[in-house]
Structures are given as C-alpha cells and as structure tokens.
Structure 1
C-alpha cells in the first residue's frame, strides 16, 4: 500500500459468513503465498490492461496499488466520551497505545495520523504496514490475555469483534473498548469516520478525511454513471480448501460496490439474500457477464481455470470470455478512504472486459 501525506437492514447471514471468511482465509494464506509464482504469469493489475487488446485474465485489483491518504494529525483533544455501537458509553483519556480489530478500522486510524500509536491488531488486519505489529486474536476471536499483555489505552473494533466474554473481561480490567457499527453501504462510511475521529480527539482531521473520501467517491460515482456499461456481475465467495461456495446478493457489501461501478449485481437482481449457496441452477439463472472473486479465494480453487470449472459457471457468458476480476481480500470490503479509487478501478475493469467481449 502506498502512503501520501497531507493529503438499510443487514442480512442475517453476514456475521456468520465473515467468521467463516476469516477461518478459511487463515487456512489458505500459506498456500496462497506458495502459489504466487505460478499465478504471476496469468494475472495482471487492472491498471495495466487498458492498453492491451487481449487483457490477461483474470484482471487483478491489488490493494498495494492504492494510495491511503494520511491527514496531518492535529493535537488530540482528550478526554472524550463517545457511544459505542453496543450501547456502551466509552470515555477515552489516552490514545498513545491503540489496538485495532479489523482492516477497515485500521485504515481510518492510520489515515487520521495514528499509525505510530497502533501497538496491536487482530489476525484479520492484514495491511502491509502493520505486519510487524503483534496479533491479539485468532480470526475475530480476541484473546483478552494477549490484549492485556500489550497494556493498551484504547481498543477499537466493530460489532463482529468478540467473543463477548473477552470484551467484558477487558472492560472489567478498565480497558476502553470502542465498537463501531459494521459498514456494508457507501452511506455508512461517513458515520464511521466521524465516530473514530471523535474518539481519537481529532474531529477536525476527521472532517478533512471525510471530505476527501466523499469527494473521491462522488467523483467515482459520476464517472461510472457516464460510462453506462451496466454489465451483469456476480460476486462469488469461494474457499476451495473449506468447500465454501457462495453467490453474493443483497446486503453482501459487494453488491454496493458493483452498483457503484455501474454494474448490475445479479444476486440482488434475482432477489437473493446476502449469501446463497452456489448451485448450477442459481449461477445459470444469474447469467453474469463478469464474475468478481476475492484474490485468496481464487487461488484456493486453483486459479481462473479452477473457478470456471465449478458447476454451472462454464455455462455463463462470463466463463465463455473468461471475464473474471480478482480483488484483494482487504480491499473490496474496506469501505473507507480507498473506496472511491476502488470504484474507479472496478468501473475501468468492467469497461475493459465488456469492450474485449464485443
């Protein structure tokens, strides 16, 4: 990841799905790293394909290609008292030692100028710049003992963070725990940035970050509207090593990004819930022009050939033209400072694939 300075109701299955995502992701990370050399000759970044008459498939949208804006940190005005998403009132007096419990929150904390204050992370936080930072969880399951060993002054997660017993133990030990709402829509980004900025005592920096983030999103939405490509796009969540094969629908988070980039989310179009088991009948009926998958998920099924060999997929227009986009796992669902740039790249990828398919 590059750094530049100065610069509705949820579906019931989302929480359980993302618990499964974390377990499966951790299980295949080592294998994915080993496969890097074998896949490097068959993938390319979305930004590299625009001038190629025959783009290499799949298109890859990599988190490392996106800039994370860093707002010059203003002086923290503490103490502050804020309302956590679990209805707890949290008073914060010190932000010198912060533990972050997912990637999306970490991005915002870093963008607000608090990178050097982060002293711990959960296993789902995979930002490159935080790799040296100690882990305090297995997936979303936080170890209270690991957290307490780091002597944090603030722990920030969202409503998926747990287990509840660990959160209760930490609060009982006097550690301020702030949980933000989960974010699956563009309209929910602003409240999360505002809450985190207030909690860190830098409301002015939060306002600036929000303005920059919203401007990029608005620009991206306008650009996607002009293109008017409107391909039918399916988001598939696959983890071959765990035998998990799901078709995204309304409330998956991917549906919001597909619509923002000018596509039609096929799961939503069919009236499907956030995640539905992938069947031959479902994917054939969905009839996608383009398929989006997560990068590690694609590797877990043996790359694009393994994906297109899954039941029913070979019968889709997307398979006939090998129109597959792989998005890095920590990017598609970040819903934060990089979201506007992601929308632009998705829209360009849609255009590249649909133009090549003509």
Structure 2
C-alpha cells in the first residue's frame, strides 16, 4: 500500500534521509491472528508503522544514493505496468485515505517509472499505482523516479515493492503469476518476482490457471482467504458443472453488494451444492418410426420401459445370450438366470 506520514515517523525519516520524508503506510501489512485491544493493540500498531516507515526510508535513501532524481510528471503520461498485480475493488477505504493524505500533506514517497518503450514522452509505472491513480483523481502531478528498466527489471521491482510492504492476497499473487506466465516469463523469474519458491509458484499457477479469470475478478482480492481454501475452490471448480455453478453465483442478485470475502463465500457455497443427477434418455424406434422402448440412465441405474409387447418378448428371450456375451468380453463370472 502507499504510505502516508505520522509525526513520529517524520522524525525518524528526517534523521535518515534529510529533507525527504516518506510516509506511514495506509494500513498494517498483514491481518493479525487475533484482535488485541487497549494498550497492546496501540503498541502493535505503532511498532508496525515505525517498521514500515523505516523500510520506506531505507528505500528512499538507497534511491538518492544511486543518484536518482525525483521528477513531477503528468499522471496522464504514465501507463500502468504491462502486468497488473492488484485486483480492483468497488469500494476501497484505504485508497480514499491515501487521497486525503496527499491532498493535505502532498505525496511523500515517489513512484518508480520507466520511459515508455513505444510512446515518446510517456512512461510505464513499475510500482506506486495507487499513488499514481490518487494523483490523477486529485488532479496534481505525480512525483516519480525515472529509470531505464527492462521488462524483467520492471517486474522484479514491482514484485519486490509489493512483497515486503503490502502482501498481496493469495489470489492476487496467483493472478499476477498467471499473467507473467502468459507474457512468457520463466518459472524462475516468476518465483523471483514473487519472492517465493518453485513449489509455491506451481500452486499459485495451478489455482489461477484452473479458475476462469472472470470468476477471480468478480470475487476480488478476498484478503481473508488463503491458499488452502483457494486450492479447494479450484478443485471444486474443476468438477463437472463447477464453472456453470460459479457463473450462476456471480450473476445472482445481491452478489455485487457483497464485500470481496463475502463474494468468495457465496461462490464457494454454490460450488458445494450437489447437482441433480443427469438422466440420459433416448427412445428406441422401428425404422418406420414406431416407438419400441424408452431408455434412461442415471449413475448406475439403467432402465428400459418397453412400449411394445412383441419387443418385450424379444428382449426376454435374448437376455441370457447378452449375459453370456458380457461374460466373454469382460471375463466376468457368468450370472445365474432364474
């Protein structure tokens, strides 16, 4: 997430980078396992903010030491990264807080961009997409560091910026991995950009390549849903009728009003519902079109409803012979005909 600035954080950053003042994060980088209250909660939040402010200060200090200059750029000339990592949501309180912080105190931490490889005078963002969007909506220039980056360097910078500070949700990481794979990046490169190992990269791709992107985008980032439930979700989705159930769930009335974690639960519930047994039916007819019998199959059940007395007698006389043929073909035990 894009940081803003606390008074205590400003003191720390001033001592580390001089006049450059990065900001405190919009929100803690991870969901706590439980909800502490009172002084304990306040202390945890303070420590988290100070830790992230120190990380932001370190990044800025390294940037300044390498000779990077911070420029003010028209947001209209900056394209999003060619591979998106975030899943947009309808309502984002943290983004609104970021906009308010920039209105009141200005943008404290610059974004990273590269010159657009095709459009002269334009740029592509490596990271800082939320700050870029906020500046565009407010109507102010965006502060940016401009570097010449290859596609691989841009993706690495994008992944490394998000990894330690923001923690994309599992499904956002999975979709990011799929998009990198579709752009031709190797598994090693994907693992490096996501700061993960090959087995975890395979799990991310397994989920994102099984579930339709339309379903993933409709559900949203679902930050409370981790790897085990998404893996189970993909297995359910793979079952016969899974895609149709999911499609019906996202089109159901009231789905869009749910927040992202609730949307996951709604689709999961739909996937768990048992489908009614599918009955395959056909009608046997004479060459002249007269009906002889109707045949239906459902699971292990095979039913023949005969509509002709003569055909009924015909079948009865040949059942023993059919059983013998079955035994020959399948090397089964000859059934007893009584």
| TM-score, length basis structure 1 | 0.25
Q: Counting helix residues as a fraction of each chain, which structure ranks higher?
A: 2
Q: Larger C-alpha radius of gyration, 1 or 2?
A: 2
Q: Counting strand residues as a fraction of each chain, which structure ranks higher?
A: 1
Structure with higher RCO (Cα < 8 A, 6+ apart): 1
| TM-score, length basis structure 2 | 0.26
